[in-house]
Each structure stands twice: as structure tokens, then as C-alpha cells.
Structure 1
């Protein structure tokens, strides 16, 4: 009954402008979705140098420093346990993603993530959040390694989406356990989501009141229903990527490689899969 009420509440409340861009939401092949399987250690060695380059951008450097200090304050008094191997840089990346003042970095990160997967060459030349992407991805992988527990969450957007049968968000997908919080971010499209790989980052977040479940770029969903602006998505349980270890030469696949969770994947098998040629795809847009 609660879900039915929620559905009709947002269906009746939404007001979409007469002219609005309608984005096709599919597997979002232009998104950079590297999971770094088999090259985690090598990327750990490279990431500090990459982070130093990223910090040449003044706003990023200032916000990273603030996030690092905030993470240092959170750690001693934490009421949650961290998985083995969870590094300070991972915690800092999560905190930074949730920080808004004075300069929110996550909109710029997601804008770049959504297009950086056009090709490996584009990623190498034009994606300037390589360390941030790696640290945030590793945080989510360690905090939510499998689909043992699912979250039922909500995501509001100011963009109108034409949702395909099987989709990814094409960026790090912020969602909330609280549907009213999600609605504050927009109602042009409102998602009801069942996620396997999405991680509850409330304990690490700088904005605890958002009750955020952060969904990684690579999680694949099935569209259960789309009714006007209301979309119901259910995780397939699969993690799908066009890239793996791109920084070390891994090419872009013609079709994404999918597996069920990090406990069932073999790095050697992944490496053998990523021997295909590199391709590019064009984003699809539709207009109302």
C-alpha cells in the first residue's frame, strides 16, 4: 500500500516542462566503467601520481584536502566496521563525492564519467579524474562485494529518460532510502530501484541526512515497468563493463563483459576476455 501511494504521489506531483531533452537510457556504452580487476595493485601504485596531477586543479585540491580531514575525523569515532584493505584514500573519495561546500566535485566527475568511455584514447587524454574514479570504485567494491543484501531505494532526476529494457546509469548513481529526499532532486523521472551493488554510504557521507545508496557505474538493471515519469528498475545482479585495466592498455570491448559478483570472477578469465578491438559508440538523444 505504501509503494502504491508513493507511486501515485509522484505521478500526480510531477510537472514536466513543454520542451525538455529526453535522454535514452540504455547500457550507456560511452560511460567509463573500469572495475580494475586483476590490476588493483598496479593501479594503487599509479594512483598517487595521478592524484597529484588532479590536484593541480585548485578546486579539486581544496576539496580533496577538506575531505581527507573530514575522513580523519570520522575514522576514530566510527560506529561501523570497514572491510579489510579499505584505505584512507577510499574513505576520502567517498566523503569528497558527498561534499557540496564550497565546490561540489561529483557533478563534474559524473559528467566526465558519462563520456570518458568513448574510447581508451579518449579516457587517457581527456579524463582527468583517474585517481578519484579508481579510489571511489575500490571503495564501493570493498563495501559491497556481493549481492547478499539488496537495497530498495529511490532516485529523482530533472531529466526525462526513455528507459530501455536493460540499462546502467552511466555514472555513479546517487539514490536514497528516503523517497522524499530523492524527490527533492527532481521528478521529471523518478526511479524505484532494487540494487545489489549499490552501497549504503550514510556512515561515511558528509550528508548523512540524504541516506545515500551509491550505485556504481557498472551495475546492470532490468526495467520492470515505466509508467509516465515513474520507472521501476531491478538489478540483474550482474556487473557489466566495456573496460578493464584501461590505464594499462586494456581495450574497449564490442559488448560489455558481465559477471555476477566479485566472489565469482577470475582475473585471468577477465584478462582473456579483454583482448578484443576497441570501438566507439554514439550517445542517443531524443527530444520531446
Structure 2
């Protein structure tokens, strides 16, 4: 009769919907993200801080998205009373808020993932140097939920996210962002940015691209929620992006080694040239 036929049709449509939902999930193997720019600025933070204002102004000119997002974030930061503690500077506070606006993180992380490919890529095409430095220790047990992407890793495999990655101290919050892959991560380089996030309820911890983990629970291809446990393994630092050092052009210029991947000539007026 009509009712059994309709019931059969309903079941068929439900199965079809489930099939479409499953096939829509993108499978991404985790690896060491070798092209990621993962500099930790060890031993060169003071030099980087010295050129930060000039570098910041330069990136404002060449990166409109960065400019717009920074202005928006700074306005929100001032609206909240300009909090800084426990961070080192107001610039770091604004940088964290800019990252969490959701206006910039996709473009920023896409750039981070390839900026370490070569010296030229970092020097000429990576116009988020300021933001990268400011976002870059205390351990946290955090979670990250992902929608429509199924990440895979073998037990014992060394992996990195290769980009700045938002996680949450709350599993419940993480699951709101997706359950196709759920990361459970022990991070010792992630920064608790709750006070500086656009979304205070997210209980957000930001993991940097250089932190390396070991997968302790192998993922599989079935099930709705795939749990991938990552524990801190070691820090892999990219240190081969050296640039040629030049002699000072005059008494008004000096060469500053900002990082293993960046040297700049700084003028007394505050202008600079990236080498």
C-alpha cells in the first residue's frame, strides 16, 4: 500500500542523506608540515621588538586585510579597558584579539603553512611577520573539534598543525565546532588567550605552528567522532632561512639580526629594509 511505500522511501532518503554527509568529509593526513614557517625567535626577540613598529607600518601598507582586522581588534580591546596582563605588551594583546576575530585566521594560517618553503617566500610574500611574532609557556590539556574534515595519523607518528591552531580548555565547547575529528592535545607552548579572544566563552588556547606532537591514539575511517590524542613530543625549529648580512650603509644605519630567517637594515628614522 501507500504507507509502506512511503516508509521505504523515507528510509532510502535518510540513508542517501547519511551517505552524502559521509562523502562530504575531507580526509587529511597529519604530517610535519615541512613548509610551515615555525621560527620561535630564540635569542632574537629584543631585536625583533626593536624593528616591530616599522615592520608593522610596512605590513599595514601592503596587507589591507591585516590592517582592517588590526583596527577592528584594537577598537574591541580598548572597549574592554585595554587589558594587558599577563601578556608582555599591548601589541600582543591586540594581535591575539585580531587572530580570534575570524576575519584573518584562514588567510594568515594559509600563509604560515607555506612561508617556510624558501627564503624568498618568507621575505617577499609573507606579510604577516608582525602577527606571527606577536602570537609566538605553560602546558594545557585542550580540545579541538573539526567539522567536515577527518584527520588521520598513525600511532607514534610525529605531527604538527603547521599553523596557529585554536583549541579550547572545554571539550563541550570544542564539540560545538565539529565532531568529525576531535583532537585531545597536551600542549606546552599553547597560550591561554581567554581574556583576549573575541569570544570569551570559548576558553581558548592558541597552539603555535612549531609545536610537535606524537599521536598516541590511531584514527580510523568509521564512526562520527574520531578522537586523536596528541602529546608533546619535541619542538622542531626551522632555522635555515638565513638572509645575507650587509654592512651598515652609513652611521645612520645598522644591521639587526631579527631571527634566523630575517635580517633588516634599520635607519635611525625608524625606516627599514628586509634583507
TM-score by length of 1: 0.69
**Aligned with 2:86 (options 82, 89, 93):** 82
Give the number of the structure with larger relative contact order, counting CA–CA contacts within 8 Å between residues 6 or more apart: 1
**Deviation at 1:42?**
1.7
**Deviation at 1:181?**
2.2
Distance 2:50 2:74 in 1: 19
SS in 2 for 1:226: coil
Q: Is the 8 A contact 1:170 1:217 kept in 2?
A: yes
- What runs of 5+ residues in structure 2 fail to find an aligned partner? 1-17, 221-225, 246-258, 262-275
SS in 2 for 1:241: coil
**Aligned with 1:240 (options 219, 236, 240):** 236
State which structure, 1 or 2, has the greater radius of gyration over its C-alpha atoms.
2
**Deviation at 1:183?**
2.1
Q: Note if 1:44 corresponds to 2:49.
A: yes
Q: Is the 8 A contact 1:32 1:243 kept in 2?
A: no
What are the superposed Cα offsets for residues 72-96 of structure 1, whole Å, 9 maximum, x if unpaired?
34455x5x8425xx11111110010
Q: Equivalent residues in 2 for 1:177-216 (5 A)? A: 177-216=169-208
TM-score by length of 2: 0.71
Q: Note if 1:221 corresponds to 2:213.
A: yes
**Deviation at 1:212?**
0.8
Q: Is the 8 A contact 2:145 2:180 kept in 1?
A: no
Q: Note if 1:24 corresponds to 2:36.
A: no
Q: Note if 1:62 corresponds to 2:68.
A: yes
Q: Note if 1:162 corresponds to 2:182.
A: no
Runs of 4+ in 1 over 6 A off after TM superposition: none
Q: Equivalent residues in 2 for 1:140-151 (5 A)? A: 144=137, 146=138, 149-151=139-141
**Aligned with 2:99 (options 91, 97, 100):** 97
What are the superposed Cα offsets for residues 236-286 of structure 1, whole Å, 9 maximum, x if unpaired?
2x3221137x47569xxxxxxxxxxxxxxxxxxx97xx9xxxxxxxxxxxx
